[in-house]
Amino acid sequence: MSQRLTRHRRRTTSVLALAAATTLMAAACGGSSATAPSEQEATEGAPDFGDISVQLSWVKTVEFAGEYFADTKGYFAEEGFDEVTLIPGPAATPSIVASGQAFAGISDPTRVAPAVANEGAPVKIVAAQYQKSPFSIISLADKANITTPQDLVGKRIGIQTGNEPLFYSLLEANGLDRDSVTIVPVEYDPSSLITGDVDGFLGYVTNEAVIVESQGYEVANLLYADNGLPLVAKAVVVSQDSIDNEREAVKAFLRAMIRGWHDAIADSEESARLAVEEYGADLGLNFDLELGQAVAANDLLVSADTDSNGLFTITPELLQANIDAIVSADVDITVDQLFDLSLLDEVYEENPELLG
């Protein structure tokens, strides 16, 4: 069944939730002394976008802390959504959003681009949570200690099925021949790095690197984004139909998400708690591990550019760099075919207080 916006005739708003959300909104706006609207004013003034679902790219770990804050603090509700269902992944997010099974989704440009270019998926990236991709070649600091692309030469690198093309792009971007590296097929468990079966392991600096560190090892990271492939990640994906016909709803969703991520960045411990005790309570998550991942993610969420332009934004130079990296992996696509940041531009133009 198509997951379009479902209209409800009535919305009830908790007084306590509204008060908490209003207080946090004031804090996010730099302690503005403006008088908060009454509950009745807020409810009557908000549009009603009904229920939506959001397809996540992974299970409900701290990776989606901003979404948890937006939900639990009432930001989605304040923006006019009755219920926001966060659907855990992994999943084929572009096709799910394109088919209307979800209003929005979280994915990466490297996954959205092939769906658009090769399958004709009518979707666009309208924002990017991570300014840098978390993709990294992880190694043990007292062993291979891979810190430069040249350190890859002669090494055994664990690469998961499907991630080879981008790894080849990393080699090409740094003038390295494919034959100079031995690729070892692995799954996503980094134990092969610890046991010495591989010298380097492709993983996330926010996940596998933290897992290895938690076991007492010092790791070295070779971030793709800092070594020739400056990709963004955790992109917000919506359908072209929503951009054309539900533009205000998309903008409302972005506003709530931005507010949620401001909170998540400011409070990594609460981010971890929300993941462990509430949204991912059935996963048996480890608090210390989730906290470490939240702290690591902050370095990817915030940059000098987001300090100036706002969270989720992508500069024109970074947009083109993403396209260049994707094209190097044999996907033929342009900036305009993959991205539409006009909605985010409107959000910040209309709501400058969201700059933080």
15-51 per-position pLDDT tens digit? 233 233 333 333 333 333 323 333 333 345 669 999 9
Asked if 205 and 244 sit in the same domain, the reply is no
Structure tokens, 172: 């090409």
Q: Are residue 97 and residue 140 in the same domain, yes or no?
A: no
Please name which of 105, 53, 127 lies closest in space to residue 338, comparing C-alpha atoms. 127
81-87 vs 200-204, strand pairing mode: unpaired
Among 175, 196, 226, the domain-final residue is 226
Gap between the Cα atoms of 153 and 22, Å rounded: 54
Q: Does residue 105 carry a pLDDT above 50? A: yes
Q: Are residues 119 and 21 in the same domain?
A: yes
Same-domain pairing of 296 and 152: no
Q: Compute the Cα dihedral for 7, 237, 245, 40 and give only its sign.
A: positive
Q: Read off the pLDDT of residues 222-261 as tens digits, 9 standing for 90 and up.
A: 999 999 999 999 999 999 999 999 999 999 999 999 999 9
- Side chain identity at residue 97, one-letter code: V
The chain-wide mean pLDDT, for the chain, equals 90
Residue 14 has pLDDT above 70, yes or no: no
Cis peptide before 90, with omega less than 30 degrees from 0?
Answer: yes
Helix (H, G, I), strand (E, B) or coil at 278: helix
The pLDDT value recorded for residue 45 is 64
Domain's final residue, options 226, 245, 269? 226
Judgement on whether residues 109 and 166 belong to the same structural domain of the protein: no
- Output 324 or 35, whichever has higher pLDDT: 324
**pLDDT given for residue 16 in this prediction:** 30
**Which DSSP letter does residue 339 get?**
B
Mean pLDDT of 255-278: 99
Distance CA(136)–CA(226), nearest Å, equals 10
Are 245 and 174 a contacting pair, CB within 8 Å?
no
Give tens-digit pLDDT for 147-186.
999 999 999 999 999 999 999 999 999 999 999 999 999 9
Same domain, 157 and 124: no
Residue 307: how many other CB atoms lie within 10 Å: 11
Q: Are residues 160 and 187 in the same domain?
A: yes
Q: Total domain count for the chain?
A: 2
Looking at residue 7, its pLDDT comes to: 30
Average pLDDT over residues 287-313: 98
d(C-alpha 332, C-alpha 166), whole Å: 14
What does DSSP assign to residue 155?
Answer: -
Interatomic CA distance for residues 129 and 123, integer angstroms: 17
- Are 99 and 195 members of one domain? no
Kindly report the CATH number assigned to the domain that includes residue 209: 3.40.190.10
Confidence at 356, pLDDT banded by 50, 70, 90: confident
> Does one domain contain both 119 and 253?
yes
State how beta strands 135-140 and 219-223 pair.
antiparallel
CA–CA dist 84, 54 (Å, integer): 7
Query: Is it the case that residue 192 has pLDDT exceeding 60?
Result: yes
What the block records as the tokens of 26 is 């004031």
Q: What does the alpha-carbon distance between residue 235 and residue 255 come to, in Å, rounded to a whole number?
A: 15
Output the pLDDT for position 2.
Answer: 40
pLDDT value of position 46: 67
> Are residues 71 and 214 both part of a single domain?
no
Boundary (domain end) residue, out of 226, 248, 277: 226
User: Residue 203 has which token pair?
Assistant: 């993983």
* For range 206-222, the mean pLDDT: 98
- Cβ distance 343 to 244 under 8 Å? no
d(CA 324, CA 110): 11
Closest by CA position to 23, among listed 40, 6, 7, 36 = 36
Q: What is the pLDDT of residue 186?
A: 98
Say yes or no: 239 and 338 in one domain.
Answer: yes
pLDDT higher than threshold 70 for residue 62: yes
pLDDT score recorded for residue 122: 99
Q: Which domain holds residue 91?
A: 15-132+232-355
334 and 280 within one domain: yes
Q: Alpha-carbon torsion 205, 206, 211, 214, what sign?
A: positive
244 lies in some domain = yes
